[in-house]
Structure 1
Amino acid sequence: MAETSGYGIIILAAGNSSRLGKPKQLLRYQDKTLIRHVTQAAIAAKSTSVTVVTGSNADLIAKELDSLPCHAVYNPDWESGMASSLVTGVQHQMASQPGISGVIFAVSDQPFVTVDLFNALIDRALEGNAGIVASAYENTFGTPVLFSSKYFPALLKLSGTEGAKKLITKFASDVTPVPFPSGGIDIDTQADYQKLLGNS
């Protein structure tokens, strides 16, 4: 049985929230910022380490995470698209923990991500020896998503606006789902944020 200590969590927080007009990572929900919420959930999960990949507004985000036991890693190419942040996170993880079993990618704008969800992804990976464990919502698979280390070479080859979704689709036969009914709720616009606050 593999050790549960073998999975790192990488939080992708480099985007500039162009549609929202301000850093969505720093929006407040239930008395904490979205980035702090997902980072605290990741730290409390059965992960070995938590890495936050920053880009736009890196200083503000690093300051928000100041007191938390996580690594903020700056992606200088963040403007080129999501792939560069995935690559930055995987490279950091491989360098800091060479023998790691896999990583989970999470984003900062899914306000309903929980410790239990992170643990469910890890447990499912350990149980079924699954290569990819993805959150399932609204008839699709998405983040948070776990990739075993055998996918690191494929992740490192992603470029531009490609994201984890490309590999989830390409290796569909190796994907195990974990239900995350509220996974489709993310914050891209002011209207999304107002709706979230109105429902809380």
Structure 2
Amino acid sequence: MHKTATVILAAGSSTRLGLPKQLLAYNGKTLLQHAIDEAAKAGADPIVVVLGFKAEEISETIKRNNVELFINAGWEQGMASGISGGVGKALQLDEKLEQLIITVCDQPFVTASLFNELKKVQRETQQHIVACAYADTIGTPVLFTKKYFSHLQALTGEEGAKKIVKTNMDDVAAVEFSPGEIDIDTVDDYDGLVQTE
């Protein structure tokens, strides 16, 4: 069994929402805490949380002593620096890491069983990227084996991990995750989510 790190991207400023989405409450915990807890339940080691906007305020709300933080000073330049830094931090913590999962904090229906399914499909297919499929696209959470660690660390500007997925489709397996299309970008999104509690 390969040890799997999880990198949780939580550095953005939630401009369309008007307040930090990382701290929105759902089912008794913040969206960020939910992502951390599900990663932990799936046995993630290490768990790296990438923070940027309001990093100090958000870090104070995190309840787990085995979470490592990567504070991305360049968060305003785009997602790439957070991915690159988060992956670098995970490798610094465990240089023998074989695979990692990149996830975000605003997909409220991400679960430990989904993370475990990504790992299972990777073992079964031997593909080096396993992404979630929803709403006619593929995206996070997404598992990468070490074959792509250097690609992730080389991302720049606004580029996200999806660029690597799309340019290596022959090396991608997909896991159906229809609730993945629900993410929280606006007040209306959040209001809709709260009504499902």
Match of 1:101 among 92, 98, 114: 98
User: Corresponding residue for 2:128?
Assistant: 131
Instruction: Give the stretch that moved more between structures: 137-146 or 118-127.
Output: 118-127
Using the alignment, how far apart are the partners of 1:67 and 1:131 within structure 2?
Answer: 30
Q: Deviations over 1:121-147 (max 9, x none)?
A: 111112222110001111110000001
Letter in structure 1 aligned against 2:31: L
Equivalent residues in 2 for 1:27-46 (5 A)?
A: 27-46=24-43
1:76 aligns with 2:73: yes
Contact 2:25 2:31 in 1 (8 A): yes
User: Where does the alignment leave 5 or more consecutive residues of structure 2 unmatched?
Assistant: none
RMSD: 1.1
Using the alignment, how far apart are the partners of 1:105 and 1:159 within structure 2?
Answer: 16
Q: TM-score, normalised by structure 1?
A: 0.95
Letter in structure 2 aligned against 1:48: D
Equivalent residues in 2 for 1:181-196 (5 A)?
A: 181-196=178-193
User: Where does the alignment leave 5 or more consecutive residues of structure 1 unmatched?
Assistant: none
Give, in angstroms, the shift of residue 73 of structure 1.
1.4
Q: TM-score, normalised by structure 2?
A: 0.97
User: Corresponding residue for 1:174?
Assistant: 171
Contact 1:137 1:179 in 2 (8 A): yes
Contact 2:46 2:93 in 1 (8 A): no
| Count of residues paired in the alignment | 197
Contact 1:43 1:70 in 2 (8 A): no
Q: Deviations over 1:35-77 (max 9, x none)?
A: 0001000011032211101111111221111444211111111
Contact 2:128 2:172 in 1 (8 A): yes
1:54 aligns with 2:51: yes
Contact 2:9 2:104 in 1 (8 A): yes
Using the alignment, how far apart are the partners of 2:169 and 2:127 within structure 1?
Answer: 12
Using the alignment, how far apart are the partners of 2:49 and 2:183 within structure 1?
Answer: 18
Match of 1:63 among 60, 63, 74: 60
1:155 aligns with 2:149: no
Contact 2:33 2:63 in 1 (8 A): no
1:119 aligns with 2:116: yes
Using the alignment, how far apart are the partners of 1:175 and 1:139 within structure 2?
Answer: 15
Using the alignment, how far apart are the partners of 1:30 and 1:53 within structure 2?
Answer: 23
SS in 2 for 1:183: helix
1:143 aligns with 2:146: no
1:88 aligns with 2:85: yes
Instruction: Give the stretch that moved more between structures: 55-64 or 140-149.
Output: 55-64
Using the alignment, how far apart are the partners of 2:129 and 2:117 within structure 1?
Answer: 13
